[in-house]
Structure 1
Amino acid sequence: MNLTRFKYIPLVGTVKNYKVEYFRKDLIAALTVAVVAIPQSMAYALIAGVNPVYGLYTSIVSAIIGSAFGSSKHLVTGPTNAICLLVAGSMRNYMGLDNAYQLLFLMTFLVGALQITFGAIKLGKVINFVSHTVIVGFTAGAGVLIALGQLSTLLSIRIEHSAEMPTTMKFYYVMTHLNQTNLYALGLGLMTIAIILLCKRINKNLPGALIGIVIPVIFIVIFSLEQKGVKLTGHIPSSLPPFKMVQFSFDSFKNVFSGAIAISIIGLVEAISISKSISSTSRQKIDANQEFVGQGLANLVSSFFQCFPGSGSFTRSAINYHNGAVSRFSGILSGVVVALVLVFFAPYAQYIPNPCLAGVILVTAYSLVDQHEIKKVVKVGKFNSDSIAMWVTCFATILMPDLDYAIYTGIVLSILLYLKDTNKVPVKILIPTQGKESQVIEQEVKSVKEKVDIIIVQLEGNLYFGSASDLEEKLDNLVDKAKVIILRMKYVTTIDLTALNAIKVFIRTVKEAGGILIISGVRSEHKSMLKNSNLVSDIDGENIFMSENEIFASSTNALERARATLNCGIGEKSEKSAACTLIESVSTFKGTNTSFF
């Protein structure tokens, strides 16, 4: 079979290379993932503001399709806390409408379509423009919001039209109505939290969330706590996710499009981050564009089976990998197991107390606040770009009424801060000392006061339109500071026409001031740009030296050119300037005296 024809369907390659002995390992991993996925999916559905059954539907369909078409063989797709929070924020104004669920499924479709488009046009690398600190800030803010949003469920305080209220308003309402707390509900929720934490201390592999839900159910049945005001999950149909056509209309598109963009971006960032995190240990090569397509298809197909948007789950993916999953079949099987549980055991789910699901969510919300990463960012600098982007995104997530705008704020801010940091050109000034020994000292541009024979100006990094003004200003300060200026471009990675124009102006200004400018270390990829921009016409061709494979070769050639220009006669007994002494030492260089190049 020629697998190149099926490169966009990784499952084909998995089937071809699958071995019988893999199945047992994949099945064990799938069963373990399903045990965690069932309570998580139901709990996350509450975050999204929908019936828990839709969380189970999403956990089934997304896991199967995402595993079949994604790049990672360990990533498990389904409901995630951050995505569910975005769903709740985007749908807040529509949940009271008759077509609320139609809008929700349409948004799932749009998320999938956008993600497939991103993958099809090869935007995998664009995801790198979403700063890691923006994600840290968003997840921390999401953790706070999720926790605040679940207090009413944990305390069983009824809030009218809560689906249409911002989380901050819900929190204020709860704080002003604490006297309405149902102590039975609070007790069950705290019991679930205690069981989960205890299971983690005993053995991290114990399904704490599942145990934390099952044990309270026993109390519900024995003591009839439903009659004492404890709200239960209620009826969950014993059936597979039903197919239902997505309802399309222009007005509906307009209502959910903004939210769909934010969810598609964060969903992809989550999926790629988790995939790469696991692949660093598993050594699997991850294709970001293929993962985009896999996540997009998972959401697109899910929209026709009454599912809300999903993404890669860190918890379930880590469990999948650490429990010995060998192939993508483990993710597919986890969806199948959840489907079987839904078909055969759904009637028992009606006894699950909502406060216990809130307890599961609160534990998860706490884990979203990555204290280690936050401390690391702050330690680097309280007021550096990363720290500012993180805190602004965090507080925007908590305080902004629309979470999608919080995401956009963080992304735009991180890009603006990046541009601010990159609009300064690293310029090193190397000047021969005027002592007896040939030495070179590095100085700041503004510290060069007196005129010397020779200056070596080393440019570094990306020279683009955003940094052209800074480049022009620094070069202007050097125009009359030396007889010969060597412009070293060995470490210039990219250069555009705006920055090149700044260099052309500098060359002309130096010539008008009676100086000589030599360019060294020109990389081959920049040669044509220099030629096409007519820069060669502004400078003698003999004064341009290409970068060579031999270390320091172009700089040595440039200095030889400077020697000729300064009329330094090597070997003469007459007193030489410091610059000539330096050039002489370079000419007889045996490997020790030009480390500054």
Structure 2
Amino acid sequence: MYLSRFKYMPLIGTIGNYKKEYFSKDLIAALTVAVVVIPQSMAYALIAGVNPVYGLYTAIVSTIIASAFGSSNHAIAGPTNAIALLVAGSMAPYMAQENAYEMLFLMTFMVGILQILFGVVKLGKVINFVSHSVVIGFTAGAGVLIGLGQLSTLLGMSIKGSSHMSTMEKFYYVITHLSQTNIYALGLGLMTMAIIIVCKKINNKLPGALIGIIIPIIFIILFSLDQKGVKLTGFIPSSLPPFKMLVFDVSVVRNLFGGAVAISIIGLVEAIAISKSIATTSRQKIDANQEFIAQGLANAGGSFFQCFAGSGSFTRSAINYQSGAVTRLAGMMSGVVVALVLLFFAPYAQYIPSPCLAGVILVIAYNMVDKKEIKHIIKAGKFKSDSLAMMATCIATIVLPHLDVAIYTGIAISIALYLKDTNKAPMKILVPSEGINGSVIEKEVRAIKEKMDILIIQLEGNLFFGSAEDLQAKLDDLVDKSKVFILRMKYVANIDLTALGVLKVFIRTVKESGGMIIFSGVKSEFSSLLMNTHMNSDVGEDNIFMSENEIFASSTNALERARTIIGPDVRGQEADSASRKLQESKSILSISPDLESKNTAAF
């Protein structure tokens, strides 16, 4: 198969397996995507604070490269709203400089190189550290910022020195100078927004943004509204993206590095999320590391053709898939279509009113706030880790002056809350009854008030240094609560030396107080660890019961051993003791929900 032989050059595999019937479907999808991407890419360029033509350049070059090298057949890359806002935030202090665009393209190159490195060293799983809640919070905050930032353009206001002002400063200026509103600009912007909304209600496939820009152009020409204070986009060159060498400057690299890291991370999160989302229905296997490399090549390569950083687009990818695209060639052809439009129809773009592009952006900004998902996260718990991470990231995005800091804040909070939730040592206390039924009762650690003959301590999950303190506190509460303790290790997935040290202290403390420790359900991989740490000699070889194939066997044997140690008075005279009845106990099955479905050794 071509696809397997050319894993890192998937385009070759696609061409090798291409069929004639695919072309018409890919072409229709490409034309549909191009209709959407033209107004979107120009609007995103304005969000990034650059001339709209650079949005078109990015929609051409980045889209073609990412589609050629990506692992998804349907994901469409290029300029996106969130990345454009990050670009604007990183470049804001430098846009007044003469070499601003040189710095912009160098940062795009840096983003690409970082993403390629992430893919080469196979850091695909690292992206999981950026939680879904952080992305939702950042996107919502970005939507608010984008919307506020476009109000002045929608109202036709001209703000002196706006390039040095934050979004909130611009918003304050707008609300304190509403008297400067240009009614014609506002009318055109609202017209565009209304057309987009109506088109969406009539049919989702209608290119509302494109129609919403074309109709106002007619009004501009008929009524000469450009002479009444309505600002137009201006001249856009009729040429393909020009090749231009980058200007490397160590000081620029140092200044823009933090922003480049944030853009590369969020860009990859977007791209992977989109690819996986579509793959759930297309059934295509997604390689995260290959997607990293594809996005990196798109940004690094695009930087030589005057592109700013881009990523995968949720809207355009969904349209591409829903329009019937079969292969990656659909994405590449959409880039070619945009190039042809730029080459032959660019002169007409100068009549596009800026308030109309602002209207497109405002609709996009509103849709960026995923209200349904936000409600879902909050409903799960206002003070849960996901909710707190989402709200903190959203607020930081709106309030903090640097968006890359907002991203790092969200990631840090997300990881900190996760660690907070994982520093607990999962433990269950099982008390075997002395009755004829042989039942086992589950109790909380603090519920054990009186001294028992036998207590079963069931340890679970990963016992590591982070949970060692909690483990020690729980075991300390149990030291004087029993004569014999059975440490059930069956459901311990992993244990490190710090946690083993806590168990060792517990064993010695129990022995000093005249008690006894028995291990049950010890997995083979843990036996050498017990031996190397001399815990087998502390406990005694006779008191270690390995995990067996028979359900409950090791704990039955451990419980029998415990009763033997205690003596015949405790064991009682019943022919069927609790230890022998343990295998038939239904209550023990409720201790772990997967016991009934597993035929491996329990306890």
* TM-score normalised over the length of structure 2: 0.95
How far off its partner does 1:150 sit?
Answer: 0.4
User: Do residues 583 (structure 1) and 575 (structure 2) align?
Assistant: no
Alpha-carbon deviations, 1:467-500, whole Å to 9, x = none? 1000011011111211211111222222211111
Partner in structure 2 of residue 45 of structure 1: 45
How far off its partner does 1:535 sit?
Answer: 2.5
Separation (CA, whole Å) in 2 of partners of 1:65 and 1:301: 8
AA aligned to 2:308 is F
Separation (CA, whole Å) in 2 of partners of 1:193 and 1:549: 67
How far off its partner does 1:557 sit?
Answer: 2.9
Contact 2:556 2:580 in 1 (8 A): no
Alpha-carbon deviations, 1:187-219, whole Å to 9, x = none? 000000000000010000111111111111111
Contact 1:271 1:312 in 2 (8 A): yes
Instruction: Indicate how the Cα distance of structure 1 residues 574 and 435 shifts in structure 2: closer, same or farther if over 3 A, else same.
Output: closer
* Farther-moved stretch of structure 1 (213-222 vs 507-516): 507-516
* Farther-moved stretch of structure 1 (418-427 vs 141-150): 418-427
Alpha-carbon deviations, 1:365-411, whole Å to 9, x = none? 01111111111111111111111111111000000000000000000
Aligned-residue Cα RMSD (Å) equals 1.8
Q: How does 1:45-444 map to 2 (within 5 A)?
A: 45-433=45-433, 437-444=437-444
Contact 2:145 2:398 in 1 (8 A): yes
AA aligned to 1:492 is V
Contact 2:434 2:578 in 1 (8 A): no
Separation (CA, whole Å) in 1 of partners of 2:248 and 2:458: 59
How far off its partner does 1:451 sit?
Answer: 0.9
Three-state SS of the structure 2 residue aligned to 1:82 is: helix
Contact 1:138 1:393 in 2 (8 A): yes
Partner in structure 1 of residue 454 of structure 2: 454
Partner in structure 1 of residue 600 of structure 2: none
Partner in structure 2 of residue 512 of structure 1: 512
Contact 1:105 1:306 in 2 (8 A): yes
AA aligned to 1:214 is I
AA aligned to 2:392 is V
* Farther-moved stretch of structure 1 (52-61 vs 547-556): 547-556
AA aligned to 1:66 is A
Alpha-carbon deviations, 1:255-291, whole Å to 9, x = none? 1101000000000001111111111111111111111
AA aligned to 1:574 is Q
Separation (CA, whole Å) in 2 of partners of 1:490 and 1:151: 61
Separation (CA, whole Å) in 1 of partners of 2:28 and 2:426: 55
User: Do residues 499 (structure 1) and 499 (structure 2) align?
Assistant: yes
Q: Give unmatched runs, 5+ long, in structure 2.
A: 592-602
Contact 1:26 1:329 in 2 (8 A): yes
Alpha-carbon deviations, 1:535-575, whole Å to 9, x = none? 223221232233334332332232232233234599x9737
Q: Percent identity?
A: 70
Separation (CA, whole Å) in 2 of partners of 1:192 and 1:427: 60
Contact 1:59 1:78 in 2 (8 A): yes
Contact 1:585 1:593 in 2 (8 A): no
Three-state SS of the structure 1 residue aligned to 2:308 is: coil
* Farther-moved stretch of structure 1 (550-559 vs 503-512): 550-559
How far off its partner does 1:326 sit?
Answer: 0.6
Instruction: Indicate how the Cα distance of structure 1 residues 3 and 195 shifts in structure 2: closer, same or farther if over 3 A, else same.
Output: closer
AA aligned to 2:353 is P
AA aligned to 1:441 is I
Q: How does 1:564-583 map to 2 (within 5 A)?
A: 564-568=564-568, 574=573, 581-583=577-579
Contact 2:441 2:587 in 1 (8 A): no
Alpha-carbon deviations, 1:202-246, whole Å to 9, x = none? 000111111111111111111111001111111111111001111
Contact 1:33 1:320 in 2 (8 A): yes
Separation (CA, whole Å) in 1 of partners of 2:326 and 2:201: 28
How far off its partner does 1:100 sit?
Answer: 0.4
Three-state SS of the structure 1 residue aligned to 2:351 is: coil
How far off its partner does 1:121 sit?
Answer: 0.7
Three-state SS of the structure 2 residue aligned to 1:93 is: helix
Contact 1:64 1:333 in 2 (8 A): yes
Q: Give unmatched runs, 5+ long, in structure 1.
A: none
User: Do residues 529 (structure 1) and 525 (structure 2) align?
Assistant: no
Three-state SS of the structure 1 residue aligned to 2:455 is: strand
Separation (CA, whole Å) in 2 of partners of 1:367 and 1:568: 73
How far off its partner does 1:54 sit?
Answer: 0.2
Count of aligned residue pairs for this structure pair: 591
Instruction: Indicate how the Cα distance of structure 1 residues 250 and 593 shifts in structure 2: closer, same or farther if over 3 A, else same.
Output: closer
How far off its partner does 1:161 sit?
Answer: 2.1
User: Do residues 26 (structure 1) and 26 (structure 2) align?
Assistant: yes
Separation (CA, whole Å) in 2 of partners of 1:276 and 1:100: 36
Three-state SS of the structure 2 residue aligned to 1:514 is: coil
Contact 2:439 2:585 in 1 (8 A): no
Instruction: Indicate how the Cα distance of structure 1 residues 478 and 590 shifts in structure 2: closer, same or farther if over 3 A, else same.
Output: closer
Separation (CA, whole Å) in 2 of partners of 1:545 and 1:574: 25
Contact 1:33 1:334 in 2 (8 A): yes
AA aligned to 1:548 is E
How far off its partner does 1:434 sit?
Answer: 5.4
Instruction: Indicate how the Cα distance of structure 1 residues 2 and 148 shifts in structure 2: closer, same or farther if over 3 A, else same.
Output: closer
Separation (CA, whole Å) in 1 of partners of 2:224 and 2:375: 46
Contact 2:48 2:85 in 1 (8 A): yes
Alpha-carbon deviations, 1:437-488, whole Å to 9, x = none? 4322211111211111111111112211111000011011111211211111
How far off its partner does 1:592 sit?
Answer: 4.7
Three-state SS of the structure 2 residue aligned to 1:92 is: helix
* TM-score normalised over the length of structure 1: 0.96
Separation (CA, whole Å) in 2 of partners of 1:149 and 1:379: 30
Instruction: Indicate how the Cα distance of structure 1 residues 575 and 546 shifts in structure 2: closer, same or farther if over 3 A, else same.
Output: closer
Alpha-carbon deviations, 1:398-428, whole Å to 9, x = none? 0000000000000001100111111111111
Contact 1:11 1:328 in 2 (8 A): yes
Separation (CA, whole Å) in 2 of partners of 1:192 and 1:363: 9
Instruction: Indicate how the Cα distance of structure 1 residues 549 and 234 shifts in structure 2: closer, same or farther if over 3 A, else same.
Output: farther
Instruction: Indicate how the Cα distance of structure 1 residues 106 and 573 shifts in structure 2: closer, same or farther if over 3 A, else same.
Output: closer
Separation (CA, whole Å) in 2 of partners of 1:419 and 1:413: 10
How far off its partner does 1:358 sit?
Answer: 0.6
AA aligned to 1:163 is S
Separation (CA, whole Å) in 2 of partners of 1:78 and 1:233: 21
Contact 2:195 2:211 in 1 (8 A): yes
* Farther-moved stretch of structure 1 (37-46 vs 9-18): 9-18
AA aligned to 2:360 is V
Three-state SS of the structure 2 residue aligned to 1:478 is: coil
Contact 1:226 1:232 in 2 (8 A): yes
* Farther-moved stretch of structure 1 (474-483 vs 344-353): 474-483
Contact 2:2 2:12 in 1 (8 A): no
Instruction: Indicate how the Cα distance of structure 1 residues 550 and 165 shifts in structure 2: closer, same or farther if over 3 A, else same.
Output: farther
Instruction: Indicate how the Cα distance of structure 1 residues 532 and 174 shifts in structure 2: closer, same or farther if over 3 A, else same.
Output: same
Instruction: Indicate how the Cα distance of structure 1 residues 566 and 445 shifts in structure 2: closer, same or farther if over 3 A, else same.
Output: same
Three-state SS of the structure 2 residue aligned to 1:275 is: helix
* Farther-moved stretch of structure 1 (224-233 vs 483-492): 483-492
Separation (CA, whole Å) in 2 of partners of 1:211 and 1:524: 68
